[in-house]
Structure 1
Amino acid sequence: MCFFHIVSQTMPRIRTATARMLPELSPPLERELTESNFPLTLWRELAALGWLKGFETPNQLCPDYGQIAQAAMTLTRAYASPGLTMSWLGQLLKLDILKRYGNNTLNCIEEIESGQTLCALAISEPNAGAHPKHLTCRAESTGDGIVLTGKKAYVSQGPHADWFIVLAISDEVADRKQFSAFIVPRSQRGLTLATPERGQGLASHSHCGITFERCELPAAARIGTPGRAFEEISQPMRSLEDVLMLAPIAAAIRLQLELLAGIPEGKIPTEELTPAFCLSETVSELGLLSARRLGQNAIPPDLSALVIGARALIEQSQSLIAPWMSLHPKLETLGKDIRLLTSIGQSATYKRAARLARALAPTGG
């Protein structure tokens, strides 16, 4: 069975399923899905349909990651915007952080779940990335409160957020930095947002820097265990995003293939794109299966090796599609988004996988 026949047979079924999950939403204008804009009307309609809550499992140990991955595929297919999906996924994960570790964050949670605002996570710093050894932003205790001083960079959704989860050094033990997390409102005195950074893609998923100049916070602004924010928030967040974006990336590849399927036969050799279709289906299943594995235990397993393997399949699919990217403008846009998503946190993910590989090596003796 040729590639064109496979895609033409499955497109109606997938589109029907998408319509059932996202009924009667206002389609975002093309100008809304850009790096500098955010589709607030669509976002609030998604919230009204319950897309920003209701993904908890019965035991409340963690969100239903399998359901989230499936919904992420649906959202990507509906709007052909991996950046919008990344924004949605990020809000769900930040809501989980606030519900899990926040003590006085009910107002913040309600605002995010209703689609009225966004929450951003501030970890990375200028010329330092997110490596804890190189971070310098500090949180000094004043007895009855906290003072934040320092800078953050590349804060996802920072330009549109009204709340920020900020990781800062709160102590040093045996020359090792200890990080705590704080919830900070956009209006807080001493917080200044930089001009939004121009990225390379991911429409509606914008970034900016933040400066904290003696930003005074109440002690209640601290969330999570003091000194454990990197272990409780930063590391799990990176691992969860890596896994949960696999299925929507597969959906983006499928959109590319559907665009190519609409081009008159004869211009594209079928034997070239059938393998790309098979690779996208494999990544989709890997993404859904790995997402379900995340929720099987209170502490998610390390799936970094699986993520790297899936990303290799994604790169292969893009190599197969590359000769025909110029046939439709949306092909290259999706291709850029896919490349960006597979490169995020690549070094850290590879290091985690390398540790797993070293653990397999026989010990001497």
Structure 2
Amino acid sequence: MDELTSEQEMLVRSVRRLAQEKIAPVAEEIEEKGEYPWEILELFKKNGLSGLLLPEQYCGGGADVFTFALVVEEIAKVCTNSSTILQGQVLSTKPLLVLGSEEQKQEYLPPVARGEVIPAFGLTEPGAGSDPGSMVSRAVRDDGDYILNGTKRFISDADVAGFITVFAKTDPSQGAKGVSAFIVEKGTPGLTIGKREKKMGSKAHQACEVILEDCRVPAANRLGPEGGALSAALKALDTCRPIVAARAVGLAQGALDYAIEYAKQRQQFGRPIAKFQAIQFMLAEMATRIEAARQLVYKACREVDRGSPEMSKYGAMAKFYASDVAMKVTIDAVQILGGYGYMEDYPLARRMKDAKLTQIVEGTNQIQRTVVARHILGDF
């Protein structure tokens, strides 16, 4: 296992206590309400967790990805809705960090780090999911502005976002290389938040339709030069995939912990079901899969922190393996509880639905396998 510094050990203990005492008791309520958990954001602000991964010069915590993953894992053990708050800050601000000018960074990043503004990431479209280069949203130059038109789909937290990083083609003839990125602020004329999808789980974070109709955005809000923004989006995903994987490990561990305690207490045939080899073998396999996933996640995080040329490969490996493990573990945890596991009164139904999402967000697991295959096969 990766050796933790004394500071990291202290942080993990602190976050674990915070999660158990303050977040776990309200996790089910957060899911049932289906509203952005502002009270958890306030909790993160008070405890120095908001903006943890953002650089210190922009009021962030300056943490590395490995440390950030440790925090996400602990929070996800009790509530993935809460861990998603921190994860969303990373995905939505990475293009700004990669492409933005110093002036843009100073304007938009500190409010995010302080938890005053929620950012959103506007990449996916109805016909452009796994293939973002096929997007059809357009940005046309008009004197000192750009006119944006198009529709984005499944944009997390767009309904509460202070700004959305929107990707659109400035030169469709260049295909994926003709994509540019823009900061579109809340309230901009022509920006409309449309349908809120009825999701299976993770209901505290709305997946929104974002409609751009002759939306006029100042040229000063373009991130970097025209074209090339898609590579920044992919860099954002390279950073976020190990974080999604850490979230998956955390929720899987939470499910295992619950199943273990249940198995120790549930009596059948005159003894706890944890005494039966069938249950013991299930728990042993669950624990082993989680630990294997955890170590792969930590490896992926270290690769990102080093700026390794293989960080994309390891991030994809960690993302698909850890989320597949989370799906398997949560299904088995439900099975251990039997009929009770299927009931909404118990937390495992929520965890199983949350696990499914980790197999889809930030690139489906099939796309992750494609990424890994390209890295190991190279040109042939």
Aligned to 1:317: 329
Aligned to 1:334: 351
Query: Structure 2 CA distance, aligned partners of 1:34 and 1:106?
Result: 37
Alignment check: 8 A CA contact 2:15 2:74 kept: yes
Alignment check: 8 A CA contact 2:137 2:148 kept: yes
**Relative contact order, higher structure (CA 8 A, sep 6+):** 1
Query: Structure 1 CA distance, aligned partners of 2:80 and 2:256?
Result: 15
One-letter identity of the residue aligned with 1:157:
D
Aligned to 2:5: none
Q: What runs of 5+ residues in structure 1 fail to find an aligned partner? A: 1-12
SS in 2 for 1:250: helix
One-letter identity of the residue aligned with 2:340:
L
- CA shift in 2, pair 1:133/1:254, >3 Å: closer
TM-score, L = length of structure 2: 0.80
In the alignment, is residue 195 of structure 1 matched against residue 207 of structure 2?
no
* Structure 2 counterparts to residues 258-297 of structure 1, below 5 A: 258-263=257-262, 264=265, 266-268=272-274, 269-297=279-307
Query: Residues 181-231 of structure 1: CA distance to partner in whole angstroms, max 9, x if unpaired?
Result: 000111100111113111111232221101111111111010133201101
Aligned to 2:3: none
Q: 1:308 aligns with which of 320, 324, 348?
A: 320
Alignment check: 8 A CA contact 2:165 2:184 kept: yes
Query: Structure 1 CA distance, aligned partners of 2:378 and 2:203?
Result: 40
Query: Structure 1 CA distance, aligned partners of 2:255 and 2:206?
Result: 23
- CA shift in 2, pair 1:322/1:235, >3 Å: same
Residue 236 of structure 1: how far off its partner (Å): 1.8
Greater shift in the superposed pair: 351-360 or 165-174: 351-360
One-letter identity of the residue aligned with 1:261:
I
Residue 243 of structure 1: how far off its partner (Å): 1.6
SS in 1 for 2:359: helix
SS in 2 for 1:52: coil
Residue 19 of structure 1: how far off its partner (Å): 4.5
Alignment check: 8 A CA contact 2:53 2:64 kept: yes
Query: Structure 2 CA distance, aligned partners of 1:244 and 1:237?
Result: 11
Q: 2:48 aligns with which of 50, 67, 74?
A: 50
Query: Structure 2 CA distance, aligned partners of 1:355 and 1:308?
Result: 15
Residue 40 of structure 1: how far off its partner (Å): 0.8
- CA shift in 2, pair 1:29/1:72, >3 Å: closer
SS in 2 for 1:194: strand
Residue 48 of structure 1: how far off its partner (Å): 3.1
Query: Structure 1 CA distance, aligned partners of 2:176 and 2:53?
Result: 37
Q: What runs of 5+ residues in structure 2 fail to find an aligned partner? A: 1-9, 267-271
Aligned to 1:354: 373
SS in 2 for 1:308: helix
In the alignment, is residue 87 of structure 1 matched against residue 99 of structure 2?
no
Residue 301 of structure 1: how far off its partner (Å): 2.1
Alignment check: 8 A CA contact 1:28 1:42 kept: no
- CA shift in 2, pair 1:300/1:205, >3 Å: farther
Residue 20 of structure 1: how far off its partner (Å): 5.5
Q: Which has the higher helix share?
A: 2
- CA shift in 2, pair 1:53/1:174, >3 Å: closer
SS in 2 for 1:284: helix
Query: Structure 2 CA distance, aligned partners of 1:153 and 1:316?
Result: 28
Residue 98 of structure 1: how far off its partner (Å): 2.4
Residue 125 of structure 1: how far off its partner (Å): 1.1
Alignment check: 8 A CA contact 2:177 2:230 kept: no
Residue 16 of structure 1: how far off its partner (Å): 5.0
Residue correspondences, number = 345
Residue 145 of structure 1: how far off its partner (Å): 1.1
Query: Structure 1 CA distance, aligned partners of 2:127 and 2:98?
Result: 31
One-letter identity of the residue aligned with 2:335:
P
Alignment check: 8 A CA contact 1:245 1:287 kept: no
TM-score, L = length of structure 1: 0.84
Alignment check: 8 A CA contact 1:196 1:208 kept: yes
Aligned to 2:6: none
Residue 21 of structure 1: how far off its partner (Å): 6.2
SS in 1 for 2:171: strand
Aligned to 2:269: none
Query: Structure 2 CA distance, aligned partners of 1:63 and 1:74?
Result: 16
Aligned to 1:114: 114
- Root-mean-square deviation (CA, aligned residues, Å) is 3.0
In the alignment, is residue 142 of structure 1 matched against residue 142 of structure 2?
yes
* Structure 2 counterparts to residues 34-73 of structure 1, below 5 A: 34=32, 36-55=34-53, 64-73=64-73
Alignment check: 8 A CA contact 2:130 2:367 kept: no
SS in 2 for 1:139: strand
Query: Structure 1 CA distance, aligned partners of 2:186 and 2:354?
Result: 28
Residue 176 of structure 1: how far off its partner (Å): 5.7
Give the percent of matched residue pairs that are identical in Structure 1 and Structure 2: 19
